[in-house]
């Protein structure tokens, strides 16, 4: 979702931490010293987490640390939902958002190792009919291209369609309408490009993504609290609800009430349509098992669960992001202060989830931090503090100041009418008949404007299930409140009726928000 676009830039900037020679010793004494240093770093990271929870008011957090193939630390703090006394522990299940990407990439690496597919398998062979805007690109497009965000699809292609209620196949079909940036020469973060690749890999294995993930990764690793199905998350008795800020404090995001004319936040976000890229849920205890698998290059309990070469390819730079950062197949990659590689990924839902992990194979260490509140910079700050302590013995900068400032900017309300007082002398609207009826758009579908008890309202989505109240602003301009994962609370969007059609500001990225009468 939109906030993930911001997070991937932040996450990629975290440098590696090192233990200045401590891990160079292979003796049991050296290993014991390393374990002690990691436990001390975990204890200080815990203190940082508690302090930041107190400072920000986030309700719940869980953290785990792995080293030497073992989970050396796993704890939870706070509560699963504000207003309850149900504690967060190491087994509390959180939605992972985009941390699902490296988890899913591990599933694909398993299939690559089985020779069922390859990272360079052509999408047209795996999913006949899947196409992008350029036929030449479609003919060459591979699973790896989509897992490395180098297909040329624009940033977050397809996300607004999901928010309107379109299904997975409908979104895949509409991706071909989007203009492309240079193929394999540009990086654009796309949930639905990666999702298409994951679905294609599962299809080649003769099953669906949910079942494949269970069969090849979650079950063999004993990740009993992990699933790529939203229904499984909703059924967990020990699960964390999403929280958003209202009046300066975190509250459980309310379920969306039907037919109110205003969208509301939901305490849980159904992510099945984008499951390979954002639909997993898990606990820190389970994720610690997965991080240990990564650090062991696919080995688990003495057997090669995931092919090392296939996993190595996923964790090798595949597309340049910035001068200092690369993306692999589902992993952020950058070199740390001592030249050791750091592999990471974060995830976020604006309705109330923030997740982050990092591993450093050269040090055989990893940390994962999950929270049940919208992104504040806490998860990144805790992990960065942990890494700094391992390397230098103390934090090297105020990580929370860095991350919170960037995320505060990312969470500013959106729309040109934000903060604007209503016109003192607005131009009157035309008669309602000038606005009523269907307005069509090849990408976003139909916007139906209709009369409601409180005035005009607009229905969007395949079944008109997304309803926005239209409030007159001036002349042929109306306002509506787009509350979804792409627009934070306080956002206000314009709906402009023009001689040529209807322009919806919130949906007009890349010029895709212009609707025609009919």
Round to whole Å and give the CA distance between 68 and 41.
16
- In this prediction, residue 437 carries a pLDDT of 96
- In this prediction, residue 31 carries a pLDDT of 57
pLDDT at 26 > cutoff 80:
no
CATH of domain 2-116+208-254+265-410: 3.40.710.10
What integer best gives the mean pLDDT of the chain?
89
pLDDT at 497 > cutoff 70:
yes
pLDDT band with cut points at 50, 70 and 90 for residue 94 = very high
Closest Cα partner for 334 from 9, 100, 14?
14
Closest Cα partner for 271 from 474, 126, 101?
101
> How do residues 353-370 score in pLDDT, each as one tens digit?
999 999 999 889 999 999
Listed range (138-142, 285-289, 390-394) with the worst mean pLDDT: 390-394
pLDDT band with cut points at 50, 70 and 90 for residue 493 = very high
Do 127 and 203 touch, CB atoms closer than 8 A?
A: yes
- In this prediction, residue 297 carries a pLDDT of 97
User: What topology does CATH give the domain 432-517?
Assistant: Lipocalin (2.40.128)
What does the block give as tokens for 386?
A: 């942990």
Of 85 and 408, more confident: 85
> How do residues 236-287 score in pLDDT, each as one tens digit?
999 999 998 888 899 987 544 333 334 444 455 788 999 999 999 999 999 9
> How do residues 73-82 score in pLDDT, each as one tens digit?
999 999 999 9
How far lies 483's CA from each of 4, 76, 269, 375, 466, in Å?
17, 30, 13, 16, 10
Q: What angle do CA 83, 86, 91 make, to 5 degrees?
A: 140
Task: Please measure the distance between the N-terminal and C-terminal CA atoms of the chain and give it in whole angstroms.
Answer: 31
Domain boundaries, the chain: 2-116+208-254+265-410, 118-204, 432-517
Average pLDDT (409-437) is 93
> How do residues 174-216 score in pLDDT, each as one tens digit?
999 999 999 999 999 999 999 999 999 999 999 999 999 999 9
- In this prediction, residue 304 carries a pLDDT of 98
- In this prediction, residue 254 carries a pLDDT of 55
Do 175 and 510 touch, CB atoms closer than 8 A?
A: no
């Amino acid at each position: 979702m939109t906030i993930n676009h911001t997070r991937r830039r932040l996450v990629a900037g975290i440098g590696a931490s090192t233990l200045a020679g401590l891990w160079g010793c292979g003796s049991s004494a050296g290993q014991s010293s390393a374990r002690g240093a990691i436990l001390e770093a975990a204890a200080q990271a815990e203190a940082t987490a508690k302090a930041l929870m107190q400072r920000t008011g986030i309700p719940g957090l869980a953290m785990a640390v792995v080293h030497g193939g073992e989970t050396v630390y796993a704890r939870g703090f706070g509560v699963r939902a504000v207003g309850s006394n149900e504690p967060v522990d190491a087994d509390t299940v959180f939605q992972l958002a985009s941390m699902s990407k490296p988890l899913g990439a591990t599933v694909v690496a398993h299939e690559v190792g089985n020779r069922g597919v390859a990272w360079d398998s052509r999408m047209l062979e795996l999913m006949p009919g899947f196409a992008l805007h350029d036929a030449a690109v479609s003919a060459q497009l591979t699973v790896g291209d989509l897992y490395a965000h180098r297909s040329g699809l624009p940033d977050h292609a397809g996300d607004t369609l999901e928010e309107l209620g379109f299904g997975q196949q409908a979104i895949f079909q509409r991706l071909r309408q989007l203009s492309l940036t240079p193929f394999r020469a540009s990086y654009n973060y796309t949930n639905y490009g990666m999702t298409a690749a994951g679905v294609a890999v599962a299809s080649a294995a003769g099953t669906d993504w949910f079942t494949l993930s269970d069969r090849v990764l979650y079950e063999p690793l004993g990740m009993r609290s992990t699933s790529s199905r939203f229904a499984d998350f909703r059924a967990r008795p020990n699960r964390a609800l999403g929280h958003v800020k209202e009046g300066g404090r975190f509250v459980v995001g309310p379920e969306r009430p039907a037919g109110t004319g205003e969208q509301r936040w939901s305490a849980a976000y159904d992510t099945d349509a984008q499951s390979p890229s954002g639909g997993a849920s898990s606990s820190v205890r389970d994720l610690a098992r997965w991080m240990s698998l990564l650090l062991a290059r696919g080995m688990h309990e003495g057997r090669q669960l995931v092919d090392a070469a296939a996993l190595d390819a996923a964790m090798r730079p595949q597309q340049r992001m910035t001068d200092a950062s690369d993306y692999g197949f589902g992993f952020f990659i950058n070199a740390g202060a001592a030249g050791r590689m750091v592999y990471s990924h974060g995830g976020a839902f604006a309705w109330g989830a923030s997740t982050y992990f990092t591993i450093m194979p050269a040090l055989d260490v990893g940390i994962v931090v999950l929270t049940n509140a919208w992104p504040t910079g806490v998860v990144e700050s805790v992990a960065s503090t942990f890494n700094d302590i391992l390397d230098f013995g103390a934090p090297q900068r105020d990580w929370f100041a860095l991350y919170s400032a960037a995320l505060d900017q990312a969470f500013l309300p959106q729309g040109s009418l934000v903060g604007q007082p209503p016109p003192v002398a607005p131009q009157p609207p035309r008669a309602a008949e000038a606005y009523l009826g269907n307005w069509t758009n090849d990408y976003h579908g139909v916007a139906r404007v209709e009369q409601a008890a409180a005035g005009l309202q607009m229905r969007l989505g395949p079944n008109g299930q997304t309803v926005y109240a239209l409030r007159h602003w001036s002349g042929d301009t109306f306002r509506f409140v787009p509350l979804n994962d792409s627009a934070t609370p306080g956002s206000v969007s314009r709906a402009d009726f023009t001689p040529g059609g209807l322009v919806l500001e919130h949906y007009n990225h890349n010029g895709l928000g212009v609707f025609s009468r009919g």
